[in-house]
Amino acid sequence: MGFSNYGNHWRNLRRLTTLEIFSAKRLAMFSAVRREEVQDQSSSGKWTKGKDAVNHKAKEFQNVMREVSELLSSNLNDFVPVLKWVDCQGIEKRMIKLMKKMDGFLQCLVDEHRSMATATASSGSSTRAEGKMTLIDFMLSSQETESSFLDDETLKRVMLAMLLAGTDTSASTIEWAMTLLLNHPEAMQKAWLEIHSNVGEDGLLDEPELPKDLNWAEERLVLVVNKLLPFGAGRRACPGAVLGRRVVALALGCLIQCFEWQRLSHDLVDLAEGTGLTMPKSEPLQASYNPRHTMVHILTKL
């Protein structure tokens, strides 16, 4: 969608995503999936097992995404179109190779979710439990009503747009926010106190609590949203802004609630920017952490 020219097709995609996928009702519907993901991220097993536990497929996907993002941001052909003829950076060739990989990955997801839907239907229940529905499940079910334009190819492209536009952006925002919090431990402590006084130690921060928690973050986010326009502006502005803010606030909040974070040395974490569409850090953030002793009983149950 992000690469679609302004016209009927883009309008259809925008309508589908803005009104159907990102509506308040749908976002509420997907909240269980987000909660599970954040719990998974915070689970002590995963944190102590470290890199080995990271799913191989997810890692492979992450690498492809990184490369796509890097290629998109460093393409001279966009600025000097005549260079397209020679493709001096070899970007087109690399992009074609990457897209084949990505298509295979997306097709697997579509097939997997389609067969889950078929299995659910043949087991007698008409749909999966609403709380367990994902974006893909919803789009597959929309194919019946939107058959004029939502064929499998378009569906995969919408998924790609969501993945490209929604994953690195959120991850990078969390990484920058953690960087700033590590450089300002008093702000980290203030955020923790606020979460602690609202959620306590009996459970993990969850979406319904977000509006009343992280007030400090909300205040600053509103300032940033109004001044720096991180979600763009106008008709091409980010349709996933509400989801993005929720994911970032929830993930960041849980990281602060569950762990004590420290810089690796007395020096401030470097704020240099790398190249990439989503303004990555020049060097990935590294920090040390320990589970908060008051949260261990919850972390070990995840």
By CB under 6 A, name the one of 112, 131, 232, 268 that touches ligand HEM: 232
Of the candidate spans 75-83, 119-127, 226-234, 291-299, the one that interacts with ligand HEM by CB under 6 A turns out to be 226-234
Q: Cβ-count burial of 249 within 10 angstroms (0-12 exposed, 13-18 middle, 19+ buried)?
A: buried
Smallest distance from ligand HEM to CB 124, Å:
32
Do 276 and 69 form a contact (C-beta atoms < 8 A)?
yes
Smallest distance from ligand HEM to CB 203, Å:
25
Among left, alpha and beta (phi > 0; psi -120 to 50; other), residue 43 is beta
Q: Cβ-count burial of 52 within 10 angstroms (0-12 exposed, 13-18 middle, 19+ buried)?
A: exposed
**In the block, residue with structure tokens 């979710």:** 113
Cα 164 from chain centroid (whole Å): 9
Cα 211 from chain centroid (whole Å): 20
Smallest distance from ligand HEM to CB 34, Å:
11
**What backbone phi and psi angles, to 5 degrees, belong to 176?**
-65, -40
Please tell me whether residue 178 binds ligand HEM under the rule CB under 6 A: no
Of the candidate spans 112-120, 125-133, 210-218, 239-247, the one that interacts with ligand HEM by CB under 6 A turns out to be 239-247
Instruction: Annotate each residue in 81-120 with x if it binds ligand HEM (CB under 6 A) or - if it does not, as one string.
Output: ----------------------------------------
By CB under 6 A, name the one of 71, 139, 178, 238 that touches ligand HEM: 238
Question: How many whole angstroms separate alpha carbon 302 and alpha carbon 298?
Answer: 7
Please tell me whether residue 244 binds ligand HEM under the rule CB under 6 A: yes
With b for 16 or more beta-carbon neighbours within 10 A and e for fewer, the 150-159 pattern comes to beeebbbbbb
In this complex, which beta carbon is closest to ligand HEM, that of residue 188 or of residue 238?
238
Instruction: Annotate each residue in 5-44 with x if it binds ligand HEM (CB under 6 A) or - if it does not, as one string.
Output: ---------x------------------------------
Please tell me whether residue 170 binds ligand HEM under the rule CB under 6 A: yes
In this complex, which beta carbon is closest to ligand HEM, that of residue 245 or of residue 298?
245
Please count the residues of this chain forming the interface with ligand HEM, following the rule CB under 6 A. 21
Please tell me whether residue 2 binds ligand HEM under the rule CB under 6 A: yes
Please tell me whether residue 1 binds ligand HEM under the rule CB under 6 A: yes
Question: How many whole angstroms separate alpha carbon 107 and alpha carbon 94?
Answer: 20
Task: Tell me the residue length of the chain.
Answer: 302
Q: What is the largest CA-CA distance in the chain?
A: 61
By CB under 6 A, name the one of 160, 240, 269, 298 that touches ligand HEM: 240
Question: How many whole angstroms separate alpha carbon 138 and alpha carbon 242?
Answer: 18
By CB under 6 A, name the one of 102, 188, 239, 277 that touches ligand HEM: 239
By CB under 6 A, name the one of 9, 15, 212, 236 that touches ligand HEM: 236
Pick from 142, 112, 123: which is nearest to 26 by CA? 142
Question: How many whole angstroms separate alpha carbon 25 and alpha carbon 46?
Answer: 31
By CB under 6 A, name the one of 243, 258, 277, 295 that touches ligand HEM: 243
Q: Which residues bind ligand HEM (CB under 6 A)?
A: 1-2, 14, 161-162, 165-166, 169-170, 173, 230-232, 236-240, 243-244, 248
